[in-house]
Each structure stands twice: as structure tokens, then as C-alpha cells.
Amino acid sequence: MRMLEAARQTTIQPSQNYAPDETTDSRTSALCIPPPAPLPAPTHLLELKFTACGETLLVPIHQGLWANKSRFLSHLDANASPAPADLRDGQLRIISLPIIRHTLPFRTVWPVLYQYLHVGSTAAVLQDLLTFPVPPSPLSSDPADVQQHQLGAVVARIERIRRLWLDVVALEADTDIELWDAMDRAWNVLLAELKDGLHESPPRE
């Protein structure tokens, strides 16, 4: 939890603070305001490009945690420490963090994976996958319409599991048995709901 809080309290400086000849794609490091003591300063920035939406996200990470969670990040220098970029009155104000670039499929489920890698709560993963909110049901009182909406909600949640699975594989964080078990359990629960719903679906008049 301390590393999660430290990452959240790390402020990445805007791109206009860099040299004119540096671009977003060419930068090898970025300036950050570290979290307040005694929270540990991150050691790297993970730049994620999400292929489904084309968006990019910069995420402060700690080598000690992420190198053990992801094979892709297992090469991180175990002795890495943030490089000071600005000292004022003996106090560290700005740090420079190396950027590591990677590609993931879906941003929509990234918060679930990010939270899990820090906290390790399969209960939170299950809660998200089984109860993720969907658009409200239609105003129609027709049982067939209501049932159709309920089935659509189940399908949407099953799709969310598929997306999380693809992100886990892409990040090479797929050796966590507890995470796989949580996704498998959610998949089986929702698949059973879908089968029951299809079996009980009322005919349209």
C-alpha cells in the first residue's frame, strides 16, 4: 500500500519543461516531484500505449515491486534509484526517472490490474469483475426487454474479464496463480449466469 500511495503522490512534470529537441517518443527520462517522506520515491516511469484506444499513460513504478510481478520488467536494475535533477536548500525537489515503454490492449481494465499488483487483493478483483456497473435498465416493463438487458450486462462483464486477461498476458504478469484463479472464478460465475438467463429468457410476443 505504501508504494501505491507513493506512486499516486508522485507528480509527473508537463512536457513543456523539456528541451525543445525532445519529443514524447524520444525522451528517455522525465522529471517528477517525488512523494512526501517517508513514502519511497519511484524508480522508473512506465509509459503504456493502449492499442484499443490509442491513448498513452505514464505510471510511476517501484523496481522492487514491479520486477517481481512482471517478466517484462524483471530486467530492471535492482540498484536503481531516482536521479536528483534539482536541489534547493539541501531538499530534493525534483527527480528524474527513466522511462520504460510498453504496449497493452485495453485501458479500461488497467486500474484493476494496477491496483491488484500493488495490493494483491483477489477479493477486489472479483468485486470489480462480477459487479462492474452497466447502463441502467430500459424503462420498458416488457419481461423480454428486461431479460435482454440483464443478459447484456452479463456479457459486458464477461468481456471485461477477457480484456483483463489480455492485459495480464501483455504485461507478462501471468505467473500469478491467485490472479488467474480470481479471473477463472469470475468467468465461471458469469458464464453460469448467462446460461441460466438464456434458458429462462421469456419469448417475445
* Overall domain count for the chain: 2
Q: Is pLDDT above 90 for 200?
A: no
- Tell me the C-alpha distance between 164 and 190, whole Å: 15
3-class SS of residue 33: strand
- Tell me the C-alpha distance between 157 and 159, whole Å: 5
Domain shared by 98 and 152, yes or no: no
Domain shared by 121 and 184, yes or no: yes
Domain shared by 146 and 161, yes or no: yes
- Tell me the C-alpha distance between 172 and 184, whole Å: 18
Partner residues linked to 11 by β-bridges: 33
Q: Nearest to residue 73, comparing CAs of 96, 41, 98?
A: 98
- Tell me the C-alpha distance between 130 and 165, whole Å: 15
Q: Is pLDDT above 80 for 182?
A: yes
Examine residue 205 and state whether it is found in any structural domain, yes or no. no
What confidence score (pLDDT) does residue 16 get? Answer: 47
Domain shared by 138 and 100, yes or no: no
pTM of the predicted structure, to 2 decimals:
0.84
Band (pLDDT 50/70/90 cuts) for residue 128 is: very high
Domain shared by 125 and 188, yes or no: yes
Instruction: State percent of the chain over pLDDT 70.
Output: 79
Stronger pLDDT, 204 or 146, i.e. the higher one: 146
Domain shared by 31 and 84, yes or no: yes
What confidence score (pLDDT) does residue 60 get? Answer: 96
Q: Is pLDDT above 90 for 105?
A: yes
Name the residue range of residue 193's domain.
110-200
